[in-house]
Amino acid sequence: MQDSSESQDVENSLAADEGSPWLAAKFQQTLDMIYEKYKNVEDGELASYIPELGKANPSNFGICMATTEGEVFTAGDWEQEFTIQSVCKPFAFQMALERHGVEKVLKHVGVEPSGDAFNAIELDERTGRPFNPMVNAGAIAVASLIKANPVEAGIDAFVEKMGKAAGRKLAIDGAVLASETATGNRNRAIAYLLLNSGIIDDAVLETLHQYFAQCSMLVNCKDLAMIGATMANIGTQPVTGERVFDFQLIKHVLAVMFSCGLYNYAGNWAFEVGLPAKSGVSGGICGVVNRQLGIGVYSPKVDAQGNSVRGTLVCKELATHFGLHAFDFSNVGSSFMQWLQ
């Protein structure tokens, strides 16, 4: 059972085939309702272990949903830019898979949920590899695989690819990059553990620069939604029509987002939201409804796991309201977006 009469309204309207403009308005109304419902939630804290992130405005709150047909719905501060942080990780993983193939990449990183914090200084003791590409250890291993010589070329390649998925040119926030570089000793410890274990080569500083720069790329909610929609649209950017991601590899990335994207909350996320997604400590979440839409949410106060408090609430509500959970019995989410066209 859906948990509100409004969700019942949406389902009834789908069944009644009342036409797309009315449904698009209804969809927007629901987004506005969800925004209003959570805009005053004040739980969580700004991440401040990267000092520059502590300067974010805690009241910022934006939501965007983009369909695979290129239709966009927004609420709140959807234009507010923030650094992507860990939301870069699945797309860097995609890039590594495209460049090196599955077999080689899996020699450097596993695909097993760790159940531990994103910044744990650990390897999977059964395999000697980082658990997965969503935790810092795995993401640093992936950064090593996509770095280039000179290092700026590898960073540019990543930013350019992400810009193609977002549908606009993206850039690095130099202040956040400097802040993370100055304070990222935990990641340096992880990188040297990886070097010691033969997971990365000895260009450790270059690998860390690639990783820190990826995390410091500026996006807004619409960018995250469009990047998610590009994944949902099996690799083709919905508006520009450009093929950005190799469609044969997307299933691997979505699977790891589903099982590991929310770190030590991933099991609860799969249970309650049921969507492949990735969170970042700056407060962004990118979700994918396969073949249907991308979701981008931003609010900078995060919980103990480093996941946006309001962002998590919004994703839960959207999934429940529209039946987006991958295993929802009514499977509404796998068909209802077509009604908006």
Burial class (CB in 10 A: 0-12, 13-18, 19+), 69: middle
In the numeric block, the tokens 């097993």 are attached to: 112
- Per the residue annotation, which of 35, 38, 86, 219 is the catalytic one? 86
- Per the residue annotation, which of 10, 35, 89, 259 is the catalytic one? 89
- Per the residue annotation, which of 159, 273, 281, 302 is the catalytic one? 281
Phi, psi of 106 (to 5 degrees): -70, -10
- Per the residue annotation, which of 111, 144, 179, 263 is the catalytic one? 263
Q: How far is the CB of 168 from ligand DON (least distance, A)?
A: 22
- Per the residue annotation, which of 211, 219, 222, 298 is the catalytic one? 211
Q: How far is the CB of 280 from ligand DON (least distance, A)?
A: 4
For ligand DON, give the closer residue by CB, 111 or 286: 286
Per this entry, what is the length of the chain?
A: 341
Q: How far is the CB of 28 from ligand DON (least distance, A)?
A: 29
281 is catalytic: yes
89 is catalytic: yes
For ligand DON, give the closer residue by CB, 238 or 306: 306
Q: How far is the CB of 136 from ligand DON (least distance, A)?
A: 5
- Report the DSSP beta bridge partners of residue 76: 62
Q: Given its phi and psi angles, is residue 132 left (phi above 0), alpha (psi -120 to 50 degrees) or beta?
A: beta
Residues within the interface to ligand DON (CB under 6 A): 85-86, 118-119, 136, 180, 187, 215, 279-281, 306
Distance CA 260, CA 232 (A): 18
For ligand DON, give the closer residue by CB, 44 or 280: 280
DSSP secondary structure letter of residue 93? H
161 is catalytic: no
Bridging pattern class, strands 293-298 and 284-289: antiparallel
For ligand DON, give the closer residue by CB, 215 or 256: 215
38 is catalytic: no
For ligand DON, give the closer residue by CB, 180 or 223: 180
Q: How far is the CB of 81 from ligand DON (least distance, A)?
A: 16
Over its C-alpha atoms, the chain yields an Rg (Å, rounded) of: 19
Distance CA 234, CA 54 (A): 36
Distance CA 318, CA 160 (A): 30
Do 259 and 66 contact (CB within 8 A), yes or no?
no
Catalytic residue numbers, as ranges: 86, 89, 211, 263, 281
